[in-house]
Structure 1
Amino acid sequence: MDRLKVIEVFEGLSFPGNLHTQESLRAAVNFQFQDTDVLLVTFPKSGTNWMQQILSLIFNKENPQHAQSLPTWQRVPWIEQIHLLNCLTDVKTSKVRLLTTHLHARLLIHKLKNTKTRVVYMARNPKDVLVSYYHFHKLAKFMPEFDSFEDFFDHFLEGKVFYGSWFDHIKDWLSVQQELNFFLITYEELSQEPCQTIQNLANFLGEQLEPKDLQNILHYCSFSFMSQNELLNYTLIPSDVFDHSVGKFMRKGETGNWKEHFSPEQNTRFNHVYQREMGDLIIKFPWSQE
């Protein structure tokens, strides 16, 4: 707990020191990926826990209960966190290692581009990311404190939060997708068309899903199931790290919650920054900048 308020700065990005050290971050940048690995890439609060569960279920479809045998962070660990080496012995399924990262592509591309590692990038409406991230700062005692939502809003738009700018993160990964075995999936698609989206993901991963497999996955990755399971909902994290009295790690699991938090002025400002940063992208995401 002595590192709870430590901030690590690495390659121009800041990270919570209770989860990262200079050594763990350097190890991530030099991580030796295997051709059979599956790497989940997200910006924080983009549905990481949800997708970790889905990946576990796809590769354990014959025994979906096995996907609940360990906490999420042990089954699909972050390569940049200090706990990785302790978790690597747990991530081996019969076929693959499932791994996660919040790192930007510029830090990993040199190790990934000459492998067949399957990279799954999960994106989410950045307005919802901002709101979810704000609430996470109140829950997690290792995250910096902000005076108000307005204060956090400003820092998020300026990229002055842990793991850097959302805009830089997603543009960085999209810019190298042609060099990788890459699959883009969004929180919104998964929410609106879960069956087809999970089937498309399984196809990319080379996994055949029978109708009963898909139904099992939909059940075990549902918000109602995950939010009540201590191996999935992070209630196992001690209270000196997560203040469970102020909120839940799995808060709502929905889209469009930003509308309950943004003022009209904030929405206009966010849309202006979004258009400036993302306007040149050919790809169109399934969220509107209303």
Structure 2
Amino acid sequence: MRNDTRLGILLMIATTFVFAMQDGLSRHLAETYNVLMIVAIRFWFFAAFVIAVARRQSGSLRAAARTAQPKVQVLRGVLLATEICVMVLAFVLLGLVQSHAVFVCYPLIVAALSGPILGERVGWRRWVAIAVGFVGVLIILQPGVAVFSPAALVPLFAATMFACYALLTRFVARKDSAATSFFWTGVAGAVALTPIGLWAWEPMTAPDWGMMLALCITGAGGHWLMIKAYEAAEASAIQPFAYLQMPFASAIGIAVFGEVLEARLVLGASIIVGAGLFTLWRERRATAS
């Protein structure tokens, strides 16, 4: 494995930009068509992509699928598929700006749950950072005001599911290779979504099929770039740049969908990102020591 931090950072920035475009395409299509159908089609393409990658990295599908923890691997895939459905619904209900402003708290949820789920030690400094980060979430959600909408909890629910997916990914990594986990992520999600997607099927216009193809390509392309980023550099060095997906997606929401960037979103998201970066720094120091 090479260690080119500069290349890894550039690849991670490209990854977040491609994923932000994917979010914009998801919102556009989900405003017209059933969310379940959109995500199912996306996962069919994604499954084909991960099968090709897994076969290349492992030599055969049997080798890629070999795991001592199939139930947990299936749970990971289903959890990610469900989380994507919920997050795309959040894009429709709240827009890209507010959805990402809340979703960006998922690293804090990972840090908070890493103790009870993985048995990792979380020191008091990280607990303080987690608490500060969730103050940022409360600033965004404004639960005490009369106009509070329960829809604001949708991206928070998605963030919690994604955090659980990330923790399960750490758990299976103790025994399975990255290629095996990648294989099960795509295949399990596609299998789970197939009957639901077919049930929710709606006719799609030719231009929107073009958008759907672009969505599938950006999804696979984003994951390919992410794989290359982690191959190029250490995860701890490039992970902070994953936060760039939020400003990229917000820019698309403002420029394309006419969304508004409110002061509370900027303040809350800044607090969350600051707390998240601190937890990443503390985790890196703990790992190094």
TM exceeds 0.5? no
Which has a greater percent of strand? 1
TM-score of the pair, normalised by structure 1:
0.30
TM-score of the pair, normalised by structure 2:
0.30
Asked which structure has the greater RCO (Cα within 8 Å, sep 6+), the reply is: 2
